[in-house]
Structures are given as structure tokens and as C-alpha cells.
Amino acid sequence: MTVMLSRQIFLRVYFIICRMVNGLLKTAQGVHPGAITTLSPTQDATFKLEAIKCLVGICRSMGVWMNKQLRISDSSLPRNSQTDDVNVDPGNTILSSNGIREEALNGMTFHAEISKDISEAATFEQRRAYKLELQEGISLFNRKPSKGIQFLINAKKVGDSPEDIATFLKKTSGLDLTMIGDYLGEREDFSLKVMHAYVDSFNFEGMEFDEAIRLFLQGFRLPGEAQKIDRIMEKFAECYSKCNPKAFTSADTAYVLAYSVILLNTDAHNPMVKNKMSKADFLRNNRGIDNGKDLPEVYLGSLYGRIAKHEIKMKDDTLTLPSKQPTNGNMILGLDSILNLVIRKRGEEKPLEKSDDLIRHMQEEFKAKTGKSESTYYAATDVEILRFMLEACWAPMLAAFSVTLGQSDDEVVTFHCLEGFRYAIHVTAVMGMQTQRDAFVTSVAKFTSLHSAADIKQKNIDAVKAIITIADEDGNYLQEAWEHILLCLSRFEHLHLLGEGAPPDATFFTVPHSESEKVKQPMSPVVHALKRKGPVQLQQAAAAARRGSYDSVGVGGYSSGLVTTEQMHNLVSNLNILEQIGSFEINHVFTHSQRLNSEAIVDFVKALCKVSMEELRSPTDPRVFSLTKIVEIAHYNMNRIRLVWTPIWHVLSSFFVTVGCSENLSIAIFVMDSLRQLAMKFLEREELANYNFQNEFMKPFVIVMQKSSSVEIRELVIRCVSQMVLARVNNVKSGWKSMFMVFTIAASDDHKNIVLLAFETIEKIVRDYFPYITETEITTFTDCVNCLIAFTKSRFNKDISLNAIAFLRFCALRLAEGSLISSSKSKDKEKSGKPATCFAVGLDSSKFTDEHDQLCFWIPLLAGFSKLSFDTRPDVRKSALQMLFDTLWHHGHLFSSSLWEQVFVLVLFPIFDFVRPAPNPAEGRVNVNGSENKYNGLDEDAWISETCTLALQLLVDLFVKFYQKVNHLLGKVLELLTNFIKQRIQSVAGIGVSAFVRLMNNAGRLFSDDKWQLVLLYLKSAAAETAPDCAQIAYNLVDSEPSDVEEEEEAIKSSPEVLDNRKMATKEVGDVGVDILQSAISDAKCCTAVQLLLVQVITEMYHMHGQRLSAANTMALLDILYSMAVHAHEVNSDYALRLKLQEVFWMTQMTDPPLLRLENEAYQAYLKLLQSVTHGKPFLAKEINIESRIIELCEEVLHVYISAACTKSFPEYSGDHSRPHSVIPLGSARRGELASRAPLVVSTLQAISGLKDATFGNCLSRFFPLLASLVSCEHGSGEVQLALSNILSSWIGPILLQA
């Protein structure tokens, strides 16, 4: 029944309003032309005026009722006179809910801690006096916190340190919780220190975020001023992040989430809030708060559930509040005015359902109602009713005010029409009716006629005043409509300056035209009145005199055409009218921007930036009025809490970046200088640890530095940043990231001056201000390192590169010394009383305490040195390499084993990436100037002979020095060295062999049996893969042989074209075949040389470390050497291969047999090692039966020699028997081969002579035929005959005589 009655009442009021407004509209419009009327003109005008007054009265009554229902201050209503300025900032100020609690101290129990000397007082009077004095101090604190604290300090009831006072505030009963919060929020230095000490006294480690807030807010009530709340919550977020470093990316996340949680708590548990925040709303409000990323949905969901279920309360929330105390949860927490700080307001409540069917149904019910109804007054309370009324009457009101104002110049009519506009704008703006609000605002803006200055009248000036008043009174609700208001102010300022004769902005921000390009205006008598303003002012005045459209940005638009004398006359008179509004009124809109709430200021800044962009867009008449105002309002609003300032700065930073990259150099310079001024002011604000405010503020400099194509702008950015750093070095904090990014970009700039200027600043920062870099955020150390690395690559000045390398060395020293300790961390104390764990080196132990920090700081630094080893400048390469290994040599003892592994894998091994094994042996050649950028431009030979050789030697020395920590990396080091050895360039392979020998000589004594086994495994692999492949040469020779000669001749005779094709194909195939053949020959020669080196390496290894080798490892070493000898012998015994090689001796230049030297030296070394084992390790020799190996080797060597000495010619092999074959020459060549084999045979005969009597006797039957053959064969040297004579006379003869 009640609902039906309400609908009927609403319907009745709705139709009354509609009829009344439409009737007033018709009255205000007057009699239509041509209509018959009995009214005189005076009466008609009076009727029109009264109708307008009635419409204004309706708007006014709507505004009063709406303000009452929404509890909006009456000051929000339009007023005729300016009110006195109040020193209160609505954007940041929050009224306290209950002020100071005047509770009597009688009956209350105080549990303040009593100092030891008082607690031990002997008399009751002393205790009583102490308690009374303490109560007096508490009472004074509850009225004036600062005076109360000072009183207690003077009375020696509390210590004078911030920690003592924080403990007193935290543990003393009887203190007013509101006063505690108010005192903690003060910005005085001492109060700030007390607040920091108070927050630091909490241990939030391991706590959920809402648990921490509950604990934190139990001891005080949040103050009523937003700035105070901001300081407290900022410190809380820092403390929580410090106690839980892995919870969030930075303290900024905790800071925003803290406000969001408080908002949720108020929303969920305040009975005045009807539409509660849902879980989806809460998740949406907190998107992207973790450094642009979303917090886990599960985490936020559980947080929402706990807050919604259990309200955050203070200790005294259970006490009975005074009867007049509002029960609003917002007021209890002191947050009633900042609920819009975290998120934008949720969408306006949907209007009541409106449809023609509903209204028609209500009409029928009303008509059908019978009976007599009593007159009853119903007071409306739902403000949404007003929305329907406005939807019904806004259009008639707009028409009435607009038509009347456009037709009449009467001051009274103008006044009431503008009053109606003001009330209508207020109501529609507060109700969130954007379309209607914008329609009213646009109409008033158009009535200013500032876009057509020649037509301005007094009523237009009044419209300008109305615009200013609207901006002042309803700024919090204008939203996008701010653009129309600011556009009017921009045009007014333009005309105002024109009237004063001031030079336009275009004078300073456009390129001057030549005389022929200047616009020539026709002369008129009126122009002489403006001649004193100069030629540029005349052009501006002519443009203003033209009638332009409202939508054009400039005064008079961009219209062209001649200016009439009448227009110029009007302009001169109108410029004088503009003086009714002074600069103070215009500036008032901007200075009072700090009074806008947190949402309105963002809308205001967006609109101002948009207008400024339009001003600057003009190619001929750019203006900077709005740009200067942007800088001003940034100054005015910079002291807002950071949660409000952040969205403001997002808008401003985007604007500064866009304009800073403008093609108009003068404007870009002006903008960057303005940004510098703002940054200097912003850097005056202190930033706590783990926050990112300063870095966000400095990002526009980085983006402009990256995007700007102007050398002047980039140089200006460097100068601005340099000035800011050197002037505000104490407060840069997180801004170091952006600072170093700017200098890093500058390091790679194409202009030398920019590079030099940037490095000059970096040099001063590192040398004089290094401790500030890591004062609150040690990760900025990596940014500094990356910046210096960028300068090491400077191509303009070698000294810059060398100095940057030296500074990197300095950074390494500071890192090793443990200087990267955050000042905030160094002050922390763990709750146990021990110093908090911080990143330090060499303080209490000899290694780093945090594995992650090792990788974050050392690896980028060392990798920077490593990459410089590929620099094209030899001096830079040498310096970087020396610094790299010096750093590791002197500070490697601080590294853990895991860090050492990363150093080798990520820093050292990449220097030698070019020796990675290639899948195709033909591609296995070194290519330092390959496709990788780090090798481009290098002198291959110089790099290999100088840098690579030195680097590999230093790596081996480093491995040996820190063998105890890096021994698990032996396999990777051996793999690197053997990859060198396997290369098909002799110089590179020689480097690997040399490094391998260096490793064995210096570290062999440290190897265990397992390590020796690993060494021999890689040595075996190197020996196997470097075995000379002479068969590949023969294979290529077979492929390159021509086809049957007779067949070719027949083909050529039958077709002459075949001859030409054959010649071309033969040339192409021949070129390719020759290249492959030469590559195979070169590889074979290289492998032969490497095998000879390996023979020496194995011999030297055994002489130095043979005593340490186990039986298995000794056998493995001997097997490697023997396998090399056998392979060489097999190649030398392949007579068909030798014949092929001799056929192309002119190309191969290989001796015959091709591997004779390798065979002899390998067998010789093998024999000597066997003898060394026999004499040096007799027990081992017996265990592995070395004697039998010696006998077999001697027999094999003698067979080979006899075979070579007695062979008359190569045996024929399958193939083309029609071709003649060469034979071994019976002269000098054959004698040369035998002479080469003679030393081995002599050593073999001596080895036989050295056998034990019994052993020799047992083997006599095996050796005697061989010795007899030696007697009968030809020899190339008398050494063999002499050795044979000795063995026959000393051994064979006596045995035969005995027989």
C-alpha cells in the first residue's frame, strides 16, 4: 500500500513539474511574432523576467533539497559573493569524528611504566606525587600532544629519545587514541622520528596483511588529516615490506593495499553503506597494484573474506560511544573524506526504472482511485527522485535560459539567466548527469563569445564571470566539462594579453617569417590605435577580430579573410571591457585546484593537458598559457598524499613526454625545463625504503631521452638530470634507476658532446656520491654497473672507456668491502636484540650471506668485463681482461661454490664461445668474425694471439688458485681446453695444448684418482679426434679424377657444344674440389702437429705426476700414447694411400711416409714410459705386466723397420692396372726413411739389452730371427749396426757360447 501511495505521489509531482516548467518556458519565450496579444511590450518583458525567475527558483530549490539529502555543505551552492578563503585543503583534509575526548581522569587506572628509582621509593607520598604528575602529563597530552610530551620529558617521566616516547605511546593507558594518532602524523622532525620508531617497534614478520593492520591500528586512531594518514600508512607499508620482503614487489604495493583494505573494512561494516563492495569489485580495484602486475586472485580473495567477516577494530571500540557520536564506520576510523582515494567511485546507482508503461499504469491507478483522500504531506528522502524531475525539465530550462540570454542585453535578465545556468549546472553535476551538465556548461561557454572577440558585450563578460564562479563552486563535479571552462579561460587570457599589448607566445615559440611572408592587413583608421603594439600584435588583433567558431581553439579560430573597419572598432572597445576581469580571478581557478577532491583534480589535470595540447598544436600561433598553468597546479598539488598524487602524475608525465618530443624545439625546451623545476621540488620530499615514487617521477626524462630526435633536447635532459642529481643527491633514492637509465641511453648517443657530458656526471656520482646510490635500494648498484658498462663501449673517446672500466673496478671493490648496505637496513634491529641481517661482505664471515645477491650484483659486473674482451680496441680489451681476472683473483675467496659456477658459465666460458664443437668438421674452423655481434670488426689473428691466449692462461691460473671451491668444474674446464685442442687451426690448438699443460703442471698435484680419470678421459677424446685423416685426402683425390678419356673424346666429337659445357663444369667442380682437398690437407697437417704436441704433453705429465697415478690411470695414459702410435703406423703402412699422396706431392708437400715422425716419436715416448714405469714403480710394473708390453713393442718396432728396409716396391692395389705406379726410390728417399727410423730401432735394441737375463733368454727365440734379419738388410744409418753389434756381442754371443 505504501509503495502504491509513493508512486502516486511521485506521478503527481512529476506531472506538476512538467506542466509548470513547460508553462514557464512558453512565458519566458514571449508571444510569437505575428500572434495577437493584449500585453504591452513592458508587460511582456515583465512576464518573461518573472518566468525566468521562477525557473531559477525551481533550480535553486532543487539544489537546496539535494544538498540537504546528500549532506553537501551549503557552501557548495552558488553564491553571489566570494567567501573568505579558508586555510583548509579539502583535497587532503579529513574532519575528525569526535575531536578531543574530554574524559575525566577520575576512576581511570593508569598502568604507565614507573622508572626503577621511583618504583623503589620508600614512601607512599612519593608514589602518589609521581602518579599525579604523570596523570597531569597525560591529561595535557590528551589536549595538546606536543606540549604533553614536552611536559613529561621535563618531568623525567619519559625519556627524550624517539624510541622512549614511542614505547610510552604504545604501552601507557589513559592516552587519548585520537591524540596519539594526531601526534604520530605530525610532520615535525621529532614527531616524525617518534612515528618511525613507533612503527618500527612492531614485528610483522610472517603475518597476513590484514593481521598486521589489525595489530597496527589497535594502539591509536587514524588522524583526521589525509597528509597525516599518508605519512603513517607509508611507514607501515615500508615496515611490513621490510619484515616480509617476499610478500610484494615493493612497498608501493603494500601502501596502496593498506588503503584498499581500510576502504573495504569501512564499506563492509558501515550500516550506512547500502551497496556493499563485492569480491569482484575488490579484485577489480586492486588490479595492477603490484608494480603493474596483479596480486594472486586467491590471496586477494582470502583477504576480502577475512575483512568482510571480521571488522578491524581498535581496543576501545567496545566502549560505549556518546549518544551524539555518529556511528558511521568511516568516522570511527577517521576516513570519511578519503574513501575515494583508492579507487574511482563505483558507478552511480541506476536510475529508477522509467518507461512509458510504468507511467501510464500509475496514471490509470491514480484516475481509478475513488473516495476522498486526506491532504497529507509526504517528505521525499530518496535523491533519485530528483533525477526524474531533471530529465523532464532540463531541456525546457536550457531553452529558456539560452534563448532569453541570447535575445536580451538587459543586465537583470542576464543576471537571472546566468544564475539559472549556475544552479542547473550544480544540480546536474552533483547528480552525475553528464549529458545535461555538459549541455548547460557548453551553452554558458558559448555565451562568453571569446571565440569571436569583435562581438563581445557586457553580458558575455558576465558569462565569463559565471564560468569562473562555476569552476570555483562546482569543480568537484565537473569531470569532462572542465575542458570547456579551461578553454574559455585560455581564450580570455589570450585577449587580455592582446589588450595589454604584450607580445604573443608565438613571438618566442615560432620561427620568424621573412618580410615577404608576413601577412599584410589592409590599413584602416582603427589600426592606428593598435600600431603601438607592434606588427606581431597587429596580426594577432586581426585574427581576434575575425568571427570564429566555438569549436576552434584559438581566438577567432583559424579563419582567414579581410578584417572590416567595424570589426576592428568593436575589438578595440571590447578589449577595454575585458579589464573588468583581472588576472586574479583567472588565477584563482588554478590556485584553488588544491581544494578539489582526489577525483576532481585528476579530471582537472586531464582537461588542462588537453587544452594545452590544442594550444601548442597551432603551427603559426602556439601558446603556452595552459602549459604554464600545468606547471603551477603541479606545484600547488604536489603536497597531496602520494596515493592521490600518483594518478595526477600519470596524466602529467604522459603530457610532458608528448610535448617534450615536439618538433617545435622552443616549446620542447620550455617543457623540459618546467619538468626539471617540478622534479627539483618533488625531490625535496623524503622517500622511505622500498618505494618507487621518485623513480616514477623521473621516468619522463627517460622516455624523452629515448624518443626525442633533437640533439638539443637530449643534451638538455642530461643537463637537467645532472643538476637534479647533484643538487638533491640525498633524496634521489629510487630515482637512481631512472637517472642511470638516462645516462645509459646517453652513452650510446650519436653525438660526442652528449656522451662526454653524461660521463662527466657519472664520474662525479661514482667518485663522490657512491654511498647514496644504495642508501635505500641496493639493486640500484646493478643499474650503476650497467650504466658504466654502456660507457665502456663509447666509440668517441677511448679514455671514457678506460675510465669506465676503472670505475667498474671501483664498484667491485665497494661490493667486496660490503659497502652496499641499505641505511634503513643498517638501522633495523631484530626483535631478539641482534642486528638485522643485511647484505654485507666480509663482516662476520669470508663469504657472501645471500646467494641471490651474489648473482644480482657480481654477475652483471663481471659479465660487463667479459663482453669487453671482444672490443675492437686492443687497449680496452687488455684493460677489461686484466680487471676481470684481477677482481676474481683478489675477491674470489668471498664467493661460494655456486657463485663460482655461475661465474665460469656466464662470465668466463662465453669468452671462448668460438671453440664450440661444430657438427660438420669442415665447419670446425675458427671464425672470430662470425655472425655474432660481439665478434664483429675484430682482427682475428690479433685477438687470438693476444686476448684469447692471455684469457685462457688467466682462466687456468684462476681455476688452480681456487681449486678447492671450483674443483667440481674441472670437467667443464677440460672440455673447454680440449675444444681448443680439437680446432683445425694450429695456432688455436697450440693455445689449448699450452693451457692444458699449464693446468696439469699447476693443478696435477691436487687431483684425486677420480679427477685424473676425468683428465685422461678428455685427453683420450682429444687424441682420438685429432688423429690425422689422410684417407680423406685420398678420397677427395679419387672424386676429382676425370672420367674415362675415350668416352669423353667420343662425346666431344659428336657435339662441339659438349666441349664448352665440359670446360665450364670442369672449372666449377674443379675449383670446389681443390678447395675441399686443400682443406683436408690443411686439417691433416694441423692434426699431425697437434698429435706431436700431445705426445710431448703425455710424456711431461707422466714425468711430473706419474708417481700419483693409480694402476688404472697409468694404463689409460699408456693406452692413449700407444693408440696414437698405432694410428700413425697404420697410415704409414697403407701403401696405396702413400702412392696417392705422392701423385699430388706438388700440392700436399707431405713427406713419405706421411706420418713417419709422429709414428717414431709416439713409439719412442711409449717405450720410454714403459721403461720409466719399470724402473720407477716396480710393484706397479709387475701388477700391470709392463715387461710383456715392452717385449711386444720391441718386436713390433723391429718388424716395422725390417719391413721398410727390405721392401722393394709398393704392392699393386685394385684399380686401374693400365696406369704405371711409382715405386719407393732405392736411393736417398729410402735411406732417409730408414735413417728417421734408426733412433727408434736403437732405443728398441737397447731396451732388449736391458731385459733381465731370464726374460731375455725366454724371448730369444722371438728376437733372434729379427736380429738376423737386421744383419742382412740395408740401413740408412750406422747407429743401428752399432747397436746391433753391441747386443750380439754382449748378449747373443755369450748365450751361444753357453749353448
Unique residue bearing C-alpha cell 583567472: 586
Angle between helices 665-682 and 693-707 (to 10 degrees): 160
Q: What is the DSSP string of 795-832?
A: SS-HHHHHHHHHHHHHHHHHHHHT----HHHHH-B-TT
Tell me how far apart the terminal alpha carbons of the chain are, to the nearest angstrom: 147
Q: What is the DSSP string of 1098-1131?
A: HHHHHHHHGGG--HHHHHHHHHHHHHHHHHHHHH
Q: Where are the alpha helices (DSSP H) in 818-936?
A: 823-827, 851-867, 874-891, 897-903
- Residues 6+ away with beta carbon under 8 Å from 1162: 1091, 1095, 1121, 1122, 1124, 1125, 1128
Joined grid coordinates for residue 1190:
715392452
3-class DSSP state of 861: helix
Joined grid coordinates for residue 717:
635532459
Unique residue bearing C-alpha cell 510569437: 32
Other CB atoms within 10 A of residue 405 CB: 24
3-class DSSP state of 1042: coil
Beta partners for residue 835, in sequence order: 829
CB 393 within 8 A of CB 15: no
Residues 880, 805: Cα–Cα separation, whole Å: 6
Residues 1210, 1232: Cα–Cα separation, whole Å: 17
Angle between helices 209-216 and 297-309 (to 10 degrees): 40
Residues 578, 573: Cα–Cα separation, whole Å: 9
Residues 926, 922: Cα–Cα separation, whole Å: 11
Angle between helices 798-817 and 752-768 (to 10 degrees): 20
Unique residue bearing C-alpha cell 563581445: 456
Q: How far is CA 616 from the centre of its chain?
A: 32
Joined grid coordinates for residue 724:
637534479
Q: Which of 186, 188, 225, 1196 is catalytic?
A: 225
Q: How many residues are present in the chain?
A: 1299
Q: Catalytic residue at 348?
A: no
Burial readout 416-445 (b: 16 or more C-beta within 10 A, e: otherwise): bbbbbbbbbbbbbbbbbbeebbbbbbebbb
CB 834 within 8 A of CB 758: no
- Residues 6+ away with beta carbon under 8 Å from 23: none
Residues 735, 727: Cα–Cα separation, whole Å: 13
Residues 485, 593: Cα–Cα separation, whole Å: 13
3-class DSSP state of 466: helix
Residues 256, 254: Cα–Cα separation, whole Å: 6
- Residues 6+ away with beta carbon under 8 Å from 364: none
Other CB atoms within 10 A of residue 763 CB: 17
Q: What is the DSSP string of 175-194?
A: --HHHHHHHHT--SHHHHHH
Return the CA Rg of the chain.
Answer: 48
Residue 166: phi and psi, rounded to 5, are -60, -40
- Residues 6+ away with beta carbon under 8 Å from 253: 237, 241, 289, 290, 291, 295
Active site residues: 225
